[in-house]
Amino acid sequence: MKLPSYEISRIIEMAWEDRTPFEAIKNTYNLKEKDVISLMKKNLKKGSFILWRKRVRGRKTKLKLKNNLNYLRHQSKNHNKYR
């Protein structure tokens, strides 16, 4: 699936956010966790990707099943103001 650059940018932003679970990315963009990892690997510098993987690996807030948050990430009204 070919995604526009603004959607790739938003997926990367969501993946970096601590409180956005992979399930929210799946619901919004229909990308599984492994697809997000591939996208991040393809679009980030090697060092940035390694930092991100260390940060995300095993993090409770990135996996909805492991966290106690009963909501998906809220998106502000002016989030996509550059579209």
Q: What is the reported pLDDT for 81?
A: 58
- Residue 67 vs residue 42, higher pLDDT: 42
8 Å CB contact between 63 and 71: no
Containing structural domain, residue 19? 5-62
Q: What is the reported pLDDT for 82?
A: 54
Does the reported pTM lie above 0.75?
no
Q: Identify whether 70 is part of a domain.
A: no
Q: Identify whether 72 is part of a domain.
A: no
The per-residue pLDDT for range 3-44, each reduced to its tens digit, is 999 999 999 999 999 888 999 999 999 999 999 999 999 999
Q: Identify whether 69 is part of a domain.
A: no
- Is pLDDT of 68 > 70? no
Total number of domains constituting the chain:
1
Q: Identify whether 37 is part of a domain.
A: yes
